[in-house]
Structure 1
Amino acid sequence: MAMLKGVMMLFAHRPTCIKRLLIIEDDPLTAFDNEHTLKLGGYDIVATVDSGEAAVAIMAAKPIDAVVLDLGLAGHMTGREVARLARDRGIAVLLVTGQCPADAEDIAIACLGKPHSASALVSALKAVESMTCKNQAPRKVSGLTTFWRPAAA
């Protein structure tokens, strides 16, 4: 019971400006785990999809604050293409992938390495919120690389 209480305390965070998430992950088990974790973290999961084509359709139809994006996707679109489209629409991009690519800074605000814990995923999104909503440097998160530069005052 004490462990469950500790897990719930971890997820007591209430999102600020990033509330509506799109999860883009081609591995069904990972997608399910991420969705469950982020719902417990207080986020509204707009959709969970496995392809770039499905992600683009959702981004065009519904308001999205951030995408949690694996680079390896089903379909013909690459994760990089999806990340660029999201970024160009003003959607924060958190890459969650086995190895952060060399060009990650060009397509995302942060990159979380796999495998990761549930707490690291929620903490990574808190970091994205700090950078995008508060214009503040995020706290360190194990396995997370950030590409934050403060906005001009």
Structure 2
Amino acid sequence: MRFASRPTCIKRLLIIEDDPLTAFDNEHTLKVGGYEIVATVDSGEAAVAIMAAEPVDALVLDLGLAGHMTGREVARLARDRGIAVLLVTGQCPADASEIALACLGKPHSASSLVSALKALETMICKNEAPRKVSGLTTFWRPQAA
């Protein structure tokens, strides 16, 4: 599996996924896509500890997590720290635009996952609307210059 372009401003990812097989697949796909995986964890508590200790550019976040913290709580903390959030979940919640830049529905292909992160890069790095990606809903608002 090869992907055409390398990451630009989003390089360091934190994957938060409670299903071990999905977590492994996502980690492998994103490493092949050129991303550095800071960590892959299954709980909100572990994610918060990583975000406090390591620089992270974006989260690949499932809403259903192990532990007591919800995915929404993790997403809000990340947003407040200026970390981009890509929700990857079975059904995008109604309030997804309040907690994330985009939401990718499960199940998804490896190429859709990488394309979803490229869409985040387009929104953040270029301040442009991203191209359409199958299964991805974006919440892009242009930033004032």
Report the TM-score when normalising by structure 1.
0.94
Is the counterpart of residue 67 in structure 1 residue 45 in structure 2? no
Is the counterpart of residue 143 in structure 1 residue 138 in structure 2? no
Is the counterpart of residue 20 in structure 1 residue 15 in structure 2? no
Per-residue displacement from partner, 1:87-132 (whole Å, max 9, x unpaired)?
0000000000000000000000000000000000000000000001
Question: Offset of 1:31 from its aligned partner?
Answer: 0.1
Question: Offset of 1:13 from its aligned partner?
Answer: 1.6
The aligned amino acid for 2:109 is S
The aligned amino acid for 1:122 is V
Match of 2:75 in 1: 83
**Equivalence map 1:121-132=2 (5 Å):** 121-132=113-124
Distance 1:70 1:45 in 2: 16
Is the counterpart of residue 57 in structure 1 residue 64 in structure 2? no
Distance 1:47 1:133 in 2: 23
The aligned amino acid for 2:90 is G
CA-based RMSD of the aligned residues comes to 0.5
The aligned amino acid for 1:111 is C
Name the larger-Rg structure. 1
**Equivalence map 1:33-48=2 (5 Å):** 33-48=25-40
Report the TM-score when normalising by structure 2.
0.99
Per-residue displacement from partner, 1:65-103 (whole Å, max 9, x unpaired)?
000000000000000000000000000000000000000
The aligned amino acid for 2:67 is G
Aligned pair partner of 2:112 in 116, 120, 124: 120
The aligned amino acid for 2:41 is V
Distance 1:92 1:134 in 2: 14
Count of residue pairs the alignment pairs up: 145
Distance 2:4 2:55 in 1: 24
**Is there any run of 5+ residues in structure 2 with no aligned partner, and where?**
none
The aligned amino acid for 1:20 is R
